[in-house]
Chain A
């Protein structure tokens, strides 16, 4: 069967996306740049910038010399792929076979599709004009081969190459339209080949000797004599399962059966894809049009239907069937890959972590996820900020737990003010009053000064003292502020073991 391909080219992909988000930039020249070998190199430039001669590959500093008020935005690596993925999914309405063509295009296999739009011309027109109305500049070309369509979209004048006519179309294009590497292009330039037509008739052995096998393959792919494969995107199907009922369900038992049934099907799919549910929602569509729903979250991705059933079943009593539920729906809102490496992480078997995660899920189901805390160190000195909460069991500390400074075992959530007697500034107190009791300090360590994190908050520093009273109880006290600057306040912040 005759194949037809459409190549889509987005010459201003990233800048177009920026303009969609920030229409105010339309008239302004702006570029995206990323650091490369110590220089900011332009990765993409907008149409006004290109008209000023600012092209990708230039140094941002050189571009600023051309246009002093040039706006330089940081480039996000991987953004093109994300955008193209989205566009490719959108293109699925035109053909079922769409492939990414990084960094700036898409390839659509359109065999047997254009007649639905009334021919290739209206088909191509429909794609480009819809994209344009969305704000993306796009050029497209249709040909028998991917190579030819690619070259025509970027370097050709005509957009639709009649079947078996690619050789004629290629003759006038520059060699770069064949997707050759920079070294070969450079050599062709030196030899004075500026059109494909100038070397297309040279015998194959000579071409191979001069420019290598890759050139011949590319030429063959453009002409249709060599094979080129496509890797079409596979659209993500949402993780939703539905179960309609013959008769409205009223009983908890009926709901349980529906729940188990839906979990079985969704878990089968998840286990095949080696994925697990982190968040799930179970909906019941009632006869009167209202939707009853219960949702769960897990600490670790899970595809174990029994475990998920246990989590959901804790909440079944909150469902009000009223006149009856006629349709059940199960959706996995958050799905994550099941990591295979967790075994070695904890020097224990994967089952152990799974059992723990299931225990925590059970607790979260009864008491709420907010009751479960696991802490990781945070590289900040302010005691309250030195830890952060993590929700996952698999997160590892990004830095070591600090032991160079002594920290109390008990920390009060809010420091409590105390009255102290201090012999000299910067000395630990002689005694302090806490909750109506005067405690005499016998031993003390400190001060350890902790400055405010000025980028987060402002205020005086804290000077911490570790003190021990007569009976051997150990406290963590601090003075907020300095004696030189007015009257500082003292607080009790924690207890040592």
Chain B
């Protein structure tokens, strides 16, 4: 009966405990591991991009896949800033290693595993996520079931490795045991004073789902080795500009 009095307190403590179990601990994201995502990080319950969990990225076509990989590389750069290796497991890799250098990732620190079957990609990802010496594991594939995503989540809970799951043109976007779901689109680059030429990589970052956080949309560019937030114009937020596929609606 004593507990009833502190009901609110008990709920708060339980909530904290659950958050901790889900990987949202404050201690893990010390200032040095802040990814420089700026306002996006405030969408997370802890105020920092959560490490040691699996994040899901969805890209509907090859072009957005490049944008997504660009965003992933930007995250990798901060994850790998202290050295260490990263695994890039894929069954459809078109990533060109020298292109990573622009996003602050040393291409020789990335070990690519090119497999044919998605089953093998998942197996390799699970093995990689269990290896706590890795800085991160990136996996590129099309389909993954809820159970398979749970296996990945179980693997990271032990090792605290960050997993980045990049799904290319998935048939269905059912719920997964991932902390977040992102969609990244290319936006036209902005140059000062209408200068000619192509500018810095610019993306619209959609955080569709984040556990216990607030989803949102932002416009980012990769400039001088870090993310830089830009104001998102009204028409760019419109769904009409990037018509979603029927299945998704």
Contact = CB atoms under 8 A, between A and B. Distances in A.
Interface of A: 346-348, 351-353, 355-356, 359-360, 362-363, 366-367, 371-377, 383, 386-387, 393, 395-397, 401-403, 406-413, 442-445, 466-468, 470-474, 494-497
Given A375-B97, A497-B222, A363 B113 contact: yes
Nearest to B241: A471
Contact of A356 (B85, B114, B187): B85
B198 interface: yes
A407 B73 CA distance: 14
Interface string B62-95: 1111110111010000000011110000000011
Contact of A403 (B84, B101, B113): B101
Contacts of A374: 108, 110-112
B113 A371 contact: yes
Nearest to B106: A401
B133 A407 contact: no
A466 B106 CA distance: 23
Contacts of B102: 403, 406-407, 409
A348 B84 contact: yes
B103 interface: yes
Contact of A410 (B96, B188, B222): B96
12 contacts: A347-B83, A373-B111, A373-B112, A396-B108, A407-B98, A409-B69, A443-B189, A471-B186, A472-B189, A494-B99, A496-B66, A497-B73
* Top 10 A-B pairs, shortest CB-CB distance: A497-B70, A411-B96, A495-B66, A472-B188, A409-B99, A347-B83, A352-B133, A472-B187, A373-B112, A410-B66
Nearest to A364: B113
Contact of A348 (B133, B199, B242): B133
A206 to B, nearest CB: 67
B37 to A, nearest CB: 16
B5 interface: no
Interface residues of B, number: 58
B-side interface mostly:
mixed
B133 A355 contact: yes
B112 A372 contact: yes
A348 B135 CA distance: 12
A37 to B, nearest CB: 38
A366 B108 CA distance: 23
Contacts of A495: 62-63, 65-66, 94
